[in-house]
Structure 1
Amino acid sequence: MCPLCMRFSGSAIHALWECDAAKNVWAGSSKILQKGVSGMANMIQLMEYLLDRVESQEMEVVLVQAWLIWNQRNRFVHGGKFHDLGWLNNCAREFLEEYRTAQEQMRTKHVMQPNQDTWQPPPQSVFKLNFDAALFSGLNRSGFGAVIRNERGEVMAAMVAKGPEVFCSEEAELIAFIEGDNNFAMKAISALKDDQSMLGNVIWDIQHLLRNLQWLRVECTRRGGNRVAHVLAQFARNIIDDMYWMEDVPPI
């Protein structure tokens, strides 16, 4: 049973196309989507129908819009409210623009100088992990973002995850310590000696995991070179479940 209209089955084609809530969202999109046919058997048939009739750039908006509808349904199921329809239509194009901007940033060219405040590619056949943490003031929440790229700047994997609840300044400092652009944290992790500070147990756990790698180098990067991970961590503010991507650019 569909949790929104309470009249039809909860299949994917219904959730994204046939449900009254979905139809109201599509009604604010392009004319061809406003006049979309009903009675599609499944999502494959719907995609074939749209690919034959929608321009490629508009199809990108369709896919982001479908993701937003699905995300909002999950939000509703877990006790939240379905966002305003106008917000959803505007948000689809905004997300797509942010995605295109992030995609360009991830394709950093080798010609950039090492001392610039930009992301630098790893050596050939080596992967580079960038990560960041975020504190959300007033929400007692935190979030994490991470992205792994190869020497061509291509995304191998990415993640957005909800962090633990934060109730005091000590916990806030612990989350801040995990930021990839925290110079003190990177030096502590790369040091060979034991750390006797309050965060020594956290540093030891990280060092223990790193010993399982054949080769690694830990270094601090400026915020400009860690921007994608920073954006991913900030995106964790609004997610319900942790999100993962493999060999794909996050649509945020």
Structure 2
Amino acid sequence: MYKLNFDAAVFEDMTALGIGVIIRNDRGRVMVASSSKSHAVVDNEEAEVLVCRKALEFVVDAGFSELIVEGGNANVMHSIRSDWVDLSRLGNLYDDIRCLAACLRRVDFHSIRHCANGVAHSLARYARNLSEDIVWLEDSPPPALEALF
């Protein structure tokens, strides 16, 4: 099993969203990490849902099939695990996440405390000054070294 952590950083002054994603193996070794920037969002829930969807798109494309997915917003993670029809403005995004998760052999969604998601948050904050996405393969991402160790 691999563990995927994701986080968002909202840059209100830039009307942008920072995205941080890291996947580690069962020993904590970095398999892949990314930092990217996206368009502005309305609120924290939208930010977390968008970042979770982008993270799952990333892992499906990369070929991972068994994951523990950890995010910092308990309400978002609960909504993803739920099988009720979400008619809210974000309902289609939740459906996208469930559809992507169905492509995986095994996936478990968990919420974690913000302080336990420091690496993904560091990568999301690093995106502030990026003009293009950055991906680190089997290498510890320099912007998150302090949080990683």
TM range, smaller chain: 0.7 to 0.9
Q: Secondary structure at the match of 1:194?
A: coil
Aligned equivalents of 2:121, 2:78: Cα separation in 1:
20
Distance 1:172 1:153, change over 3 A: closer
Corresponding residue to 2:129 among 238, 246, 249:
238
* Alignment match, 2:61: none
Aligned equivalents of 2:100, 2:49: Cα separation in 1:
17
* Alignment match, 2:114: 223
- Across the two proteins, how many residue pairs are aligned to each other? 124
* Alignment match, 2:102: 211
Contact 1:156 1:248 (8 Å CA) reproduced: yes
Counterpart residue type for residue 191 of structure 1? S
Residue 177 of structure 1 and its aligned partner are, at CA, apart by: 4.5
Aligned equivalents of 2:27, 2:86: Cα separation in 1:
36
Contact 2:50 2:93 (8 Å CA) reproduced: no
* Alignment match, 2:47: 175
* Alignment match, 2:65: none
Residue 247 of structure 1 and its aligned partner are, at CA, apart by: 0.6
* Greater RCO structure (CA 8 Å; 6+ sep): 2
Q: Secondary structure at the match of 1:130?
A: strand
Aligned equivalents of 1:172, 1:140: Cα separation in 2:
13
Contact 2:10 2:40 (8 Å CA) reproduced: no
Aligned equivalents of 1:156, 1:178: Cα separation in 2:
22
Counterpart residue type for residue 221 of structure 1? I
Gaps of 5+ in 2: 52-70, 144-149
Contact 2:45 2:73 (8 Å CA) reproduced: no
User: Aligned-residue CA RMSD in angstroms?
Assistant: 1.6
Identical amino acids, percent of aligned pairs: 40
Corresponding residue to 1:158 among 13, 33, 40:
33
Give the structure with the higher percent strand.
Answer: 2
Distance 1:220 1:173, change over 3 A: closer
1:143 aligns with 2:15: no
Q: Secondary structure at the match of 1:217?
A: strand
Distance 1:128 1:164, change over 3 A: same
Counterpart residue type for residue 129 of structure 1? L
Q: Give TM-score, length-normalised by structure 2.
A: 0.77
Residue 172 of structure 1 and its aligned partner are, at CA, apart by: 5.9
Aligned equivalents of 2:30, 2:11: Cα separation in 1:
26
